[in-house]
Amino acid sequence: MEKQRSISTLVFNAIATILLIGIFIMGTAQMVFTVRYFHAERQQALTDAVNLAVAQSMQLLLRTDTPDTVDELQLDGEIADQIEQRVELIGSSSSVVLTLLDTEGNVILCSNRSILVKGKAVPADCLAAMDTRDGYFAIGDLDGVLTDRYYTAGKAAYGRENQVVGYVIASSSAAGLASYMGDIFSSFILSAGLMLLLASILSIVITGRLTQPLRHIAEAARRFGSGDFSARAPADKSCEEISQLADTFNTMARNLEAADSSRSQFMGNIAHELRTPMTSIKGFVDGMIDGTIPPELYSHYLELVSQEAGRLTRLIQNMLDITKLEAGEYKADARQYDIWNTITGVVFAAEKRIEDGKVQIEGLAPDPVMVYADPDLVHQVLSNLVDNALKFTPEGGIIRFGVQKNGGRVIISVWNSGAGIAKEALPFVFDRFYKEDKSRGLNVRGSGLGLHICKVLVSLSGGKIWAESQEGEWCRFSFSLPAEAPGKKVRLGKGDGSAKK
């Protein structure tokens, strides 16, 4: 398993790598430019020394009583002494070594013969290069003529008839470049070391500030993972990304805490919902077995047992529906049909409960309104909403249905009189496991799953569901469905049906 590295190590490695790459690039560029500048400067200095030496030497020769032509440099007597003095003066003032050659490349005069190898003549190819417009320039030992590597520039000397009478070369040691480059390299090594030291200090300071809030978030996550759902990451506004991470973690923690609380409440509700009918069923059956309930009342109590068994069946079915829907196992089979067929079917199915509660039904309209949805899904949504309305509508109350077409959508609503829903509870009524007791009056039943199932089913049908309420007076649940299949042209106009008030 690969060893994990800390952020401090990663930041230091990144900074060090960037610095080293930058130093290497800058050092290479500076060395290249330095070498080029050094070469150009040496070439210019040596060429100037050669030109001056040629001019001075030829000036002395051409002013003497020599024949009209100078066939070759012949240094003797007073002229030789003067030329030698001028060559040495030019060489010392230019910090170069000047050497005069005859037409065969042999040394005639040198301001410092210690750099020459005795008996060696300059090669013909070098002499040929000197007999050009630009002259000769190179780094080396002139094919063994010089004792070491030198910058060397050379040029031919011409007589009165413009013929070559000799050559003048100027040499300067190349050791200076190596020494200079060594100094540059040493300075770069020192700079790199100082920069790396500064980088390490900066990385410690920077990563310390970066990792401190991360350590706080990690500690909060550890506590949260250990079961402390109240753990939160402290806000840190110094870094936008870390602040976003802390906010995201805290939002996740709040949601998980709320989900855990809802789940605990749900499990308590489920246990209560299961225990109540089971206790009733067991009590009735035990009463019939031990004779507490006389045979003539068996029919009545068996009907009560059937009702309680029905409650258990509905509760279990709701739980199965939730599991199936959230697993994505149900696929909607949408088609065009009249929504009033479903509404009237649900009302007729609840006819007995409506009559028992003396509930007045309003808003049933004869005009068809077409929707594009799965009839089975919409039937279950309306069944849950009507069941919910019947639970919380007082005796003699009203349940009102409304259908209104709005552009490409159809809005269906179920309104009931009664205690209504508290304003602070409205945002949570569709949450899974949510059951708000105080807002629904005394007639409190259910497991908190019905409205959540409605929300999932409506969403699966391509619509939205919402709740409105006036606490102590009324409550209305509304949901929207597509009026036509996707891709069809939507006919805009007045609603095909509306709720009767």
Strand, helix or coil at 429?
coil
- Return the CATH number at 315: 1.10.287.130
**Within-domain flag for 199:** no
Q: What is the mean pLDDT of each run of 10 residues along the chain (501 residues)?
A: 65 78 81 81 81 69 47 51 62 72 84 80 87 86 85 84 83 78 78 79 78 81 82 76 82 82 69 74 88 87 84 74 69 88 91 90 87 90 91 92 92 93 87 56 52 87 92 93 75 40 32
**Identity of the amino acid at 113:** R
411 and 454 together in one domain: yes
Please count the structural domains in the chain: 3
340 and 466 together in one domain: yes
**CB environment 238-266: b (16+ within 10 A), e (fewer):** eeeebeebbeebbeebeeebeeeebeeeb
Instruction: Decide if 98 contacts 170 (C-beta within 8 A).
Output: yes
**Within-domain flag for 94:** yes
- Concatenate the DSSP letters of all residues of 134-193 into one string: S-EEEEE-TTTTBSS-EEEEEEEEE-TTS-EEEEEEEEEETHHHHHHHHHHHHHHHHHHH
- The DSSP symbol for 428 reads G
Residue 96 domain boundaries: 7-179
322 and 342 together in one domain: no
- Concatenate the DSSP letters of all residues of 312-367 into one string: HHHHHHHHHHHHHHHTT------EEEEHHHHHHHHHHHTHHHHHHTTPEEE---SS
pLDDT in tens, 372-382: 999 988 998 99
Q: Which of the listed residues 283, 299, 326 is the one where a domain comes to its end?
A: 326
pLDDT in tens, 10-63: 777 787 788 778 878 887 887 788 788 878 887 888 888 778 777 766 655 554
